[in-house]
């Protein structure tokens, strides 16, 4: 994360505020930033961010674990260090086929430009999940969470479905995030297969609107949440809970045929540093309370709290400890 870099925005033909995937002309930017500036390294990735926040909220070292794919390079070492510092156990598959996924964040006049190189994140192999070590890790877990982004990778759906089926067979909750409208647009069939197993579904208002459009529904957001919650699912031991966040507006929760709206505490604009990762932070706070057996209203409150803390930081960087009653 680098501040005040109008130079790089111009040099790499970027638009201030862009969120883009790096192509060949952008790839030198990562080493150039590290060589010429004091760079803040922050462990990232949508699922990993949510897990880091959950770990922070749980106040119990190594209460969480993350599985993913990294390259054999200095960035994977930095990622490992950051997660260990946060108390998250990591089980990375290492590949020599691509570098560790990175995202350069340039800040100019409080406007952030993100250039993501997914790299090794696209190359996770289902066989790694099936290894004896990973099967032990999976068996120990009590709750499973995954963002929707692996659906866009070659073996992502297969890996997610194996987690889903394990969760259903052992009566453990599987949680899914819609993550981005493009996943609904371009990976709809894969999404439907995984959604069939989801006990908890997270998303924001843009993703919910895209879901509604795909289904041909013409209704308001609470009704969209209700209809998704009522869709068929594999496990009948618990209802599906749908949670839709709307930034500073009320969070919508649908379950058991009912909708509840939860207000978000107002935060003055001057205190907001970076809204990237707010949704992941909400999920992390929610999951932390859920694993502790708290009722849904407390899970939402914890999600709001975590998101409020994160948007006052640069990136998903965590204060020493949470301060929530």
The catalytic residues are 280
DSSP letter for 120, please. G
The string of DSSP codes covering 86-108 is: HT-EEEEEEESSSPPPEEEEEEE
Residues whose CB falls within 8 Å of the CB of residue 207, separated by 6 or more in sequence, listed in order:
178, 179, 180, 181, 184, 244
The string of DSSP codes covering 312-325 is: TSSSS---SS----
* 111-115 contacts at long range (C-beta below 8 A, 24 or more positions apart): 111/16, 111/17, 112/17, 112/274, 112/276, 113/9, 113/14, 113/15, 113/16, 113/17, 113/18, 113/19, 114/18, 114/19, 114/20, 114/276, 115/12, 115/14, 115/18, 115/20, 115/21, 115/22, 115/26, 115/29
Pairwise CA distance, residues 322 & 319, whole Å: 7
DSSP letter for 41, please. P
Residues whose CB falls within 8 Å of the CB of residue 37, separated by 6 or more in sequence, listed in order:
2
First-residue to last-residue Cα distance in the chain: 32
Q: Which two tokens stand for residue 35?
A: 């060589």
């Amino acid at each position: 994360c680098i501040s005040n870099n109008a130079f790089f925005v111009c040099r790499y033909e970027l638009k201030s505020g862009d969120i883009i995937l790096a192509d060949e002309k952008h790839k030198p930017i990562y080493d150039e930033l590290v060589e010429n500036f004091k760079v803040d390294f922050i462990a990232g990735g949508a699922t990993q961010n949510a897990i880091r926040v959950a770990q922070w909220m749980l106040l119990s070292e190594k209460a969480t674990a993350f599985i993913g794919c990294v390259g054999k390079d200095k960035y994977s070492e930095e990622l490992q260090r950051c997660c260990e510092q946060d108390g998250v156990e990591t089980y990375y598959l290492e590949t020599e086929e691509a570098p560790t996924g990175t995202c350069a964040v340039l800040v100019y006049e409080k406007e952030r430009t993100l250039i993501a190189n997914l790299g090794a994140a696209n190359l996770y192999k289902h066989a790694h999940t099936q290894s004896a070590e990973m099967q032990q890790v999976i068996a120990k877990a009590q709750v499973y969470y995954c963002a929707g982004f692996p659906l866009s990778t070659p073996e992502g759906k297969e890996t997610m479905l194996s987690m889903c089926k394990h969760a259903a067979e052992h009566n453990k909750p599987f949680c899914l995030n819609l993550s981005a409208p493009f996943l609904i647009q371009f990976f709809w069939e894969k999404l439907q297969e995984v959604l069939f197993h989801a006990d908890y579904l997270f998303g924001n208002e843009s993703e919910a609107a895209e879901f509604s459009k795909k289904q041909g529904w013409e209704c308001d957001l609470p009704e969209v949440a209700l209809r998704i919650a009522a869709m068929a699912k594999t496990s009948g031991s618990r209802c599906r809970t749908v949670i839709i966040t709307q930034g500073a507006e009320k969070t919508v929760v649908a379950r058991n045929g009912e909708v509840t709206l939860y207000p978000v505490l107002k935060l003055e604009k001057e205190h907001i540093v970076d809204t990237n990762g707010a949704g992941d932070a909400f999920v992390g706070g929610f999951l932390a309370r859920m694993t502790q057996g708290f009722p849904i209203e407390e899970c939402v409150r914890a999600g709001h709290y975590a998101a409020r803390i994160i948007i006052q930081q640069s990136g998903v960087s965590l204060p020493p400890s949470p301060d929530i009653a």
